[in-house]
Amino acid sequence: MDEKLKVKVINKSNFALPQYATEHAAGLDLRANTNEDISLKPLERTLIKTGLFLEIPIGFEGQVRPRSGLAYKHGITVLNTPGTIDADYRGEVGVILVNLSNETFIIKPGERIAQLVFAKHEQAKWEETTTLTDTNRGEGGFGSTGKH
């Protein structure tokens, strides 16, 4: 499977293009495109720009996801997870970070702040009806398939 998804990119950041860390990695690390430290206080959120502008092929989306190390070690996560970058969006990629810890976190210039994963998707066509097919689960909602 040598055919890779081609995504056009304009890099106006101060840093190299995101790279996959390993041969089978799903996500590319996005970096904070800032010239100075950004202080993120407990429970504060902020939009961090990446300096990247993308042209994603139709039928695909970019998913902005948290980095597990930042979440586990520092309580830093992406607020709208996953954030979606649509194929027709041409603006700068930004990441909404939130600090869920009790300590101020300093975002350094070029710091890896999130992951970007490309995913294929479909657009649905609604088919209005008055009934739905019965299943064993039925209307069982949150937690209904958990421990009994």
Split at pLDDT 50, 70, 90, the class of 140 is: confident
Taking the alpha carbons at both ends of the chain, their separation in whole angstroms is 43
User: pLDDT by residue (tens digit) across 14-25?
Assistant: 999 999 999 999
**CB distance 84 to 108 below 8 Å:** no
What pTM, to 2 d.p., does this model score? Answer: 0.88
pLDDT at 138 over 90: no
Split at pLDDT 50, 70, 90, the class of 92 is: very high
Cα–Cα distance between 98 and 77 in angstroms, integer?
6
pLDDT at 28 over 90: yes
Segment 113-119 mean pLDDT:
97
52, 62, 61, 57: which is closest to 3 by C-alpha?
57
Cα–Cα distance between 76 and 47 in angstroms, integer?
13
- In three-state secondary structure terms, 112 is strand
Q: Chain-wide mean pLDDT for the chain? A: 94
Split at pLDDT 50, 70, 90, the class of 125 is: very high
The confidence score (pLDDT) of residue 142 equals 74
The confidence score (pLDDT) of residue 147 equals 64
CATH of 27-120, one of 3.30.2130.10, 2.70.40.10, 3.30.565.10, 3.40.30.10: 2.70.40.10
